[in-house]
């Protein structure tokens, strides 16, 4: 059976998300699924499709490697926080090489990781992604560490403090 937009829109529980994932896994068309649903103008469809994709293994998600820039653009352009968080989660699980570094995406991550109005899940993902991108350039890593040291930690959740401290202590991989 081919997955439909209606099925994706009605995915509203872990059980139904797992069922869609099993069907997607059977078809092994992660790229087709992503292209068909994650850019939908119907917010439930885009969000649920991304949610289903987070169920995939890293090997399955590797099929989306060619969509890395599209996924980063989606995260930066959406006004939906759930779509942003889920797309950032997928980007974090994809391989990122030096040639994949986009300064607009790095700027986005630096801005959102420190924004106290941003959701903690998005802040945390942006911290991790900024760290990954800065690893390619020592001067950027220095800038990231200075930014992290300047953050007034009273305004952040324990999860953000933990990620920040791991980066500053050199324990983040």
Query: What predicted TM-score, i.e. pTM, was given to this entire model?
Result: 0.93
Final residue belonging to a domain, choices 95, 115, 147 = 95
Specify the DSSP element, H or E, that contains 106. Answer: helix 103-114
- Please write the tens of the pLDDT for every residue from 131-143: 999 999 999 999 9
Query: What is the rounded CA–CA span in Å between residue 39 and residue 105?
Result: 18
pLDDT interval class at 75 (50, 70, 90): very high
Final residue belonging to a domain, choices 95, 129, 162 = 95
Question: Does residue 117 share a domain with residue 77?
Answer: no
| Number of domains comprising the chain | 2
Question: Does residue 135 share a domain with residue 86?
Answer: no
Can you give the residue range of the structural domain that contains 26?
1-95
């Amino acid at each position: 059976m081919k997955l439909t937009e209606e099925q994706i829109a009605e995915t509203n529980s872990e059980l139904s998300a797992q069922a869609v994932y099993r069907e997607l896994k059977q078809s092994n068309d992660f790229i087709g699924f992503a292209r068909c649903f994650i850019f939908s103008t119907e917010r439930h469809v885009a969000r649920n499709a991304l949610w289903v994709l987070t169920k995939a293994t890293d090997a399955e998600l590797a099929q989306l490697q060619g969509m890395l820039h599209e996924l980063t653009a989606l995260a930066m352009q959406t006004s939906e926080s759930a779509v942003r968080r889920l797309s950032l989660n997928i980007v974090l699980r994809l391989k990122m090489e030096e040639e994949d570094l986009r300064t607009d995406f790095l700027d986005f991550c630096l801005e959102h990781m420190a924004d106290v109005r941003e959701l903690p899940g998005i802040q945390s993902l942006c911290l991790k992604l900024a760290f990954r991108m800065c690893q390619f350039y020592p001067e950027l890593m220095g800038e990231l560490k200075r930014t992290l040291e300047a953050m007034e930690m009273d305004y952040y959740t324990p999860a953000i403090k933990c990620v920040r401290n791991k980066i500053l202590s050199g324990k983040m991989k």
